[in-house]
Amino acid sequence: MNVGDLVEDFTLPDETGASRSLGGLLAEGPVVLFFYPAAMTPGCTAEACHFRDLAAEFRAAGALPVGVSGDAVERQREFTERHSLGYPLLSDPEGRVRERFGVRRGFSLAPTKRVTFVIGQDRRVKEVVRSELRMSAHADRALAALAALRTS
């Protein structure tokens, strides 16, 4: 998935077990879909908490951060409760959505690459952030892309 690509709708359960579709999430504004390897690991916690800490900026941009990993619903619930994340975490244990976005690792204990997609309400990818080691880069660059969209 690259900038300009059209994202097909998908539905996954969130941390409460409720079904969430991309179309439904996009109804209110752009979605910042960030894939992460595993809930409650140090890097993923740092990344998720940085998105949480920038919640006011994302609201001001009219955008919603949404995390996706292969973790089970129960693990996602524990992750969001432990860190008061305040945004949806989607569970993709079979990796269907991970495959569609091209963020699957070939072989690894953490089957999902750390990649973020800024998706406009037209379902087009506006920005892609690929960084395995700079956890704050994902939210920071997503906010910069959202600001550029508002001024264009």
Hey, what are 46's tokens? 């740092």
d(CA 97, CA 113): 12
Interatomic CA distance for residues 152 and 74, integer angstroms? 41
Catalytic annotation, pick one of 44, 48, 63, 143: 44
- DSSP letters, 82-99, are HHT--S-EEE-TT-HHHH
Per-residue exposure over 95-114, b if at least 16 CB sit within 10 Å of its own CB, e if not: eebbeebebbeeeeebbbbb
Is 49 assigned a catalytic role?
Answer: no
Q: Are 71 and 39 in contact (CB under 8 A)?
A: yes
Q: Please list the active-site residues.
A: 44
